């Protein structure tokens, strides 16, 4: 379930990037895309290790990337340039993923 939520965040981030990209936000978009994708990919890679220490390590990395994604989305919410409903959806889904990663 955490992987599905992380994948949904990545989809929303890519949608926001496609509709709202501007040069002054290039670094934010780049980092946001990498951090959101990192959540999804670390969960997937960790799953391949089953219940080993490496699995838990990948989940910790995924959680840290989810926190980074959340913080970047929060930064974006301070600007009127971005669609509020997209940002709210991304933040809420990201936080759901974070909670699932902690369980």
**Class for the domain spanning 2-10+30-102:** mainly alpha
The structure tokens listed for 93 are 């889904």
Domain-wise residue ranges, the chain: 2-10+30-102
Decide if pLDDT at 52 tops 90.
no
Average pLDDT, the chain: 95
- Calpha distance 16→90 (Å, rounded): 9
Distances (CA, A) of 92 to 5, 27, 45, 46: 10, 23, 24, 23
What's this model's pTM, rounded to 2 decimal places? 0.92
Phi-psi region of 29 (alpha: psi -120 to 50; beta: other; left: phi over 0): alpha
The structure tokens listed for 99 are 């909670």
63 compared with 81, residue with greater pLDDT: 63
The reported pLDDT for the residue numbered 50 is 82
- Calpha distance 26→8 (Å, rounded): 21
Q: Are 1 and 40 in contact (CB under 8 A)?
A: no
């Amino acid at each position: 379930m955490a992987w599905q939520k992380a994948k949904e965040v990545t989809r929303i981030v890519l949608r926001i990037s496609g509709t709202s990209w501007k040069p002054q936000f290039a670094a934010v978009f780049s980092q946001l895309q990498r951090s959101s994708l990192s959540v999804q990919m670390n969960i997937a890679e960790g799953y391949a290790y089953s219940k080993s220490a490496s699995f838990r390590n990948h989940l910790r990395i995924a959680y840290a990337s989810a926190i980074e994604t959340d913080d970047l989305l929060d930064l974006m919410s301070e600007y009127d340039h971005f669609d509020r409903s997209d940002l709210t959806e991304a933040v809420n889904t990201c936080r759901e993923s974070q909670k699932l990663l902690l369980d």
